[in-house]
Amino acid sequence: MSSLVLQIQSKLEEYQSLLNVKSHLASVKEQLSAKYSELKSVTKQLHKEEKELDDLQNSGLKNLFYKVLGDKEKQIEIERQELLAVSLKYNALKEGIELLEFELEVLEKKVLNIDSVKREITQLKKARELEITTGPNSSLKSEYLLLIKKYETNVMLHKEIEEAIDAGQISHKALHKLGTLLTEALNWGRWPNQGRGGYHTMMKRSKMANATRMVADIQRRLDNFGREMEDLGEKNMYFRLRREDFANFTNFFFDNLITDWIIQKKIKNSLSNLEMIIDRIARVVGSLEQELHRVKSVKESLLKEKDGLLMS
């Protein structure tokens, strides 16, 4: 067995040990947090008991107090016992906290080495890779290089899928926003008895103007999504919006039934087109997310296989 393999094994064991320490450190921090909260509560209770005992010892105690609580010395003894019980609990908590704080300090010093050990493992693996690729074992060399090629291809695919998902989600969100504006404009056209001109007409025109301004930006986002999909080998994935459907909307005034009917029909057609695109993008993004999960699994499997070859 190669001396590098033995060194890697040793460092991996050290690294695993440090990971265990890191996990235990997290547990100690949680315990300390709980102890600090408990100590705060007990400290408050301790002060209360001390004050009650002090008040009792220094009070003159009127006759009514004697009648209600009985003998003063007996009551003082009860208060002392209660104070003692709280004091013991307080001291035990303080001791427990001190031990945990000491343990925390030791563990924190140990985990400082975790990044250093990780870097050492990476360097040793690189040295072992060089040893394999320049060594006399041609069979091991070929197997390793083929595995590296598969892994690098997988990494690139992983990156491209993530980029495509991001582009798809951005497009999906923008299209939803456009759809909302068109729906609002359509609803404005349905409101009865609004009269000619004025606020009613202004609001409808404003909604359509905003929708028109969004089209160019949305088309850019859709084109970007199409390019990302093309990078993944999917051709003809461009999603086109017909800008002419929106271009002249603001030139119309919704002042009579015929005009309203024409514009509303155009809005309905545009909404229908949008809904189809939105649905298609959602299905494509869903498929991409499933593929990303599969690619991640393959990536992890290839890494394990790679580490296995390095240790052979």
pLDDT 10s digits, 85-120: 889 999 999 999 999 999 999 999 999 989 999 999
Residue 126 in this model has a pLDDT that exceeds 50? yes
pLDDT digits (tens, 9 = 90+) for 149-189: 988 888 888 988 999 899 999 989 988 888 888 787 777 65
Domains of the chain: 3-135 (1.10.287), 147-310 (1.20.1330.10)
Tokens 């906290």 belong to residue? 97
Question: What pTM was computed for the model?
Answer: 0.60
Asked whether the beta carbons of 189 and 211 are under 8 A apart, the reply is: no
22-39 average pLDDT score: 93
Q: CA-CA distance, 48 to 40, in Å (whole number)?
A: 13
pLDDT tens digits, one per residue of 255-275: 444 556 666 777 787 788 888
Dihedral angle of Cα 152, 157, 159, 160, to the nearest 10 degrees: 140
Query: What is the band of 200 on the pLDDT scale with cuts at 50, 70, 90?
Result: low
What pLDDT is recorded for position 262? 65
| C-alpha closest to that of 178 among 225, 228, 219 | 219
